[in-house]
Amino acid sequence: MSEISEIIPPYVEIEKDKPQLFIKCPRERIRDLVQHFVKLQLRFNTMTGVDLKDKLCVVYHFSYYPIIHGKSGVINVKVEIPKDDPRIPTISDILEPAFYYEREIWEFFGIVFEGHPRLEHLFLSPDYPKHPLRKS
């Protein structure tokens, strides 16, 4: 546990009984957490949008480089977002690869990344009206 607490700051909650490390972060603190992970040089694998029926969720996937950190494994950061207010701060200025992932999640789930420089369609046609991976 002590090893984890060095990496995971106190404002996040660790989910129990999971085969991998899943943590929950409040949406206001996600930029702080990502900045913290960037400083630690964690690998940013990808971002996933999930529709949990009553709310939306963005999962940020990070992993260790054994050559830098001396251990392996993944850290999944979950941020839950209410459906009636689907907004979350962007991290594309901190982490360059998030530029495309955020556009993709906005396109498929309608989650608005505030401060993203170019929230345009990436895969679908520019006039596509819906967010197709929403379950409703």
> Binding residues for another protein, per CB under 8 A?
18-20, 22, 41, 43-46, 48-51, 59, 61, 63-67, 72-74, 76, 95-97, 99-100, 121-128, 132-133
What φ, ψ does residue 128 adopt, rounded to 5°?
A: -70, 125
Q: Report the first-to-last Cα separation within the chain, whole angstroms.
A: 39
Which CB sits closer to another protein, 75 or 88? Answer: 75
Q: How far is the CB of 131 from another protein (least distance, A)?
A: 11
Nearest-5° angle of CA 28, CA 130, CA 49?
35
Task: Determine contact, residues 49/108, Cβ cutoff 8 Å.
Answer: yes
Strand 112-114 with 55-63, pairing: unpaired
Q: How far is the CB of 106 from another protein (least distance, A)?
A: 14
Q: How far is the CB of 76 from another protein (least distance, A)?
A: 6
Which CB sits closer to another protein, 11 or 65? Answer: 65
Q: How far is the CB of 39 from another protein (least distance, A)?
A: 13
What φ, ψ does residue 12 adopt, rounded to 5°?
A: -110, 160
Q: Rg (Cα) of the chain, in Å, rounded?
A: 15
Which CB sits closer to another protein, 28 or 121? Answer: 121
40: its two tokens:
């630690």
Which CB sits closer to another protein, 73 or 82? Answer: 73
